[in-house]
Structure 1
Amino acid sequence: MPPSIMPFPIRLRRLVCALLASVASVAGPARADEQGPRQRLPLPAVYVRECAACHLAYPPGLLPAASWQRLMGGLDRHFGTDATLDAQDLTLISRWLQDHADTRRGALPPEDRITRSPWFERKHRHIEAATWRLPSVRTAANCAACHAGAAQGRYDEHDLRMPAGLSPRQRAAWDD
């Protein structure tokens, strides 16, 4: 049936679908918002190979470009470890991180740490310090301890799992 004589609801539905598809195609890179990273961004193989070998391949939208630039510029002393990369991998990863970095926040997190960013602290303010030290957690940077989908860039607060070792009081507070 030609579009000009198509029933109105079908034409409207197709128009809305086309509009939504075009908006989705220009939505931009993953960013951290009030909920954390909201869009799953495919991770380059070099990023997974080099960075996720030691820790979670953090979504680039968790930090602003200036933080990523400093982190990548100091890999010889990356949080107490020498994580030096060859020039080609360094360039590829740095460019990708900066291209997809958070652009909406003004303040840089202290020490360029995701766990010291204002949104991270706000989202985790009710977690006791003892919880971060549990053997099943070890550090606030171990997102996968509670966020089952962290490796896939999913941090939905409705899809959390309790880490092993919580006290009965902490377990009760978990559901609040």
Structure 2
Amino acid sequence: MKYLIFLTLIINSLFAESYSSTKTDVAPVNNQLYINECASCHFAYQPGLLPANAWTKIMKNLDKHFGTDASLAPEDFQTLSKYLEDNSAEKNMQYKRSNRIVSSIPAGQIPDSISTTPYMIKKHSELRKNMITQPEVKGLFNCVACHTTADKGIYGERDIKIPNYGRWED
């Protein structure tokens, strides 16, 4: 009997290791212009990771976009601004992460980035600083360094693999 229990535990752990979440936490990016313009320099963050006022703030400062001039042609600026606003977190409250991000931001506060939202800070608070600042990660802004399914809008804990540390174990 104890061998059967042991064998069951081994089989379950093998399946758990290969298990990947399939429930989308935030609406995936579906705009080719956004992918072409923004993902040419960094991960194409899903618009549902920030409220519209934060995207507006970011778009108004593209000439100083995190140390880079990311200015756009006027028509591309208008198209992307509309895409970000139409798909922002408060417009996608049916998604778990969008809902929690919006709920975490105090009234009147406009975050400068996704990684500065209270929700994201809290979600990453258990990580040691050296896990986040290591060269393979660089910072909380680099979602895809650890979230293996971030491009699909899936940020579940089962899909986290921290470079040089391995799979996240809560």
TM-fit CA distance, 1:40: 3.0
Map of 1:108-119 to 2, 5 A cutoff?
108=109, 110=111, 112-119=112-119
TM-fit CA distance, 1:109: 5.0
Map of 1:6-21 to 2, 5 A cutoff?
none
CA distance, structure 2, for counterparts of residue 146 and residue 53 of structure 1? 19
1:8 paired residue number: none
The structure-2 alpha-carbon separation of the partners of 1:64 and 1:39, relative to structure 1 and needing over 3 Å to count, comes to: closer
The structure-2 alpha-carbon separation of the partners of 1:163 and 1:53, relative to structure 1 and needing over 3 Å to count, comes to: same
CA distance, structure 1, for counterparts of residue 145 and residue 45 of structure 2? 14
Aligned length: 133
What does the per-residue CA deviation read over 1:17-38, in whole Å, with 9 as the maximum and x for residues that have no partner?
xxxxxxxxxxxxxxxxxxxx72
Does 1:81 pair with 2:46? Answer: no
CA distance, structure 2, for counterparts of residue 121 and residue 42 of structure 1? 23
Q: More relative contact order in 1 or in 2 (CA 8 Å, sep 6+)?
A: 2
TM-fit CA distance, 1:133: 1.4
CA contact (8 A) 2:27 2:48 kept: no
Largest Rg, 1 or 2: 1
2:169 paired residue number: 175
Aligned residues: percent identity? 38
CA contact (8 A) 1:144 1:150 kept: yes
So what's the TM-score if we normalise by structure 2? 0.72
1:143 paired residue number: 143
CA distance, structure 1, for counterparts of residue 26 and residue 139 of structure 2? 25
Gaps of 5+ in 1: 1-36
CA contact (8 A) 2:26 2:46 kept: no
Does 1:95 pair with 2:89? Answer: no
TM-fit CA distance, 1:41: 3.2
What does the per-residue CA deviation read over 1:56-114, in whole Å, with 9 as the maximum and x for residues that have no partner?
1101111111110010011000011000000111101100101111224353354x111
Map of 1:1-176 to 2, 5 A cutoff?
38-103=25-90, 104-105=102-103, 106-107=105-106, 108=109, 110=111, 112-164=112-164, 166=165, 174-176=168-170
Counterpart amino acid of 1:51? Answer: C
What does the per-residue CA deviation read over 1:124-165, in whole Å, with 9 as the maximum and x for residues that have no partner?
11011111111111111111111001122211111111312x
CA distance, structure 2, for counterparts of residue 175 and residue 42 of structure 1? 28
The structure-2 alpha-carbon separation of the partners of 1:114 and 1:96, relative to structure 1 and needing over 3 Å to count, comes to: same
CA distance, structure 2, for counterparts of residue 126 and residue 88 of structure 1? 42
TM-fit CA distance, 1:39: 3.8
So what's the TM-score if we normalise by structure 1? 0.69
Pairwise CA RMSD of aligned residues?
A: 1.9
CA distance, structure 2, for counterparts of residue 53 and residue 160 of structure 1? 24
Counterpart amino acid of 2:114? Answer: I
